[in-house]
């Protein structure tokens, strides 16, 4: 009986540790995707930045600006910079930099930016230059 209880406690502990690692891995993956996007902006590589957008966000940007994603994204005046804070909720993430807030979604092919150039509006939803 004592061995069964010890094994059960060990299993619960192991599950808790694994769940914690999963969260950290998801945050790290969202952070890496945001860094890819922000780094592309810093390098002036609009093609790579567009590849970091979700397909829906890239299509929306193209449709709203009436030009290819690369040109439309370049016209938004977004800046890169280092990632500050990352928060993950399920398949969604918010990434903060000194000058920006990004929102990401985890898709079949990894984390993608769904909104960028976002600023809080008090009680209202964020206002975003791209997506949102």
For each of the domains in the chain, give its residue range(s) and CATH number, in order of start. Answer: 2-131 (3.10.450)
Instruction: Please list, in sequence order, all residues whose beta carbon lies within 8 angstroms of the beta carbon of residue 74, skipping any fewer than 6 positions away.
Output: 44, 46
- pLDDT category at 7 given cuts 50, 70, 90 is very low
Closest by CA to 116, choosing from 67, 64, 79, is 79
3-state SS, residue 110:
strand
| pLDDT at 74 (0 to 100) | 85
Tokens at 32, concatenated? 């890496």
**Long-range pairs for 60-64: beta carbons < 8 A, 24 or more residues apart:** 60/131, 61/130, 61/131
Residue 22 pLDDT exceeds 50: yes
- State the pTM of this model: 0.80
């Amino acid at each position: 009986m004592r061995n069964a209880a010890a094994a059960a406690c060990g299993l619960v502990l192991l599950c808790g540790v694994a769940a914690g690692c999963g969260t950290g891995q998801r945050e790290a993956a969202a952070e890496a995707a945001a860094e890819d996007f922000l780094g592309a902006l810093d390098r002036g590589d609009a093609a790579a930045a567009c590849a970091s957008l979700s397909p829906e966000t890239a299509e929306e940007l193209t449709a709203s600006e009436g030009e290819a994603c690369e040109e439309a994204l370049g016209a938004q005046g977004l800046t890169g910079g280092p990632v500050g804070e990352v928060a993950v909720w399920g398949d969604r993430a918010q990434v903060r930099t000194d000058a920006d807030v990004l929102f990401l979604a985890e898709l079949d092919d990894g984390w993608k930016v769904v909104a960028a150039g976002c600023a809080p509006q008090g009680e209202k939803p964020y206002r975003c230059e791209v997506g949102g």
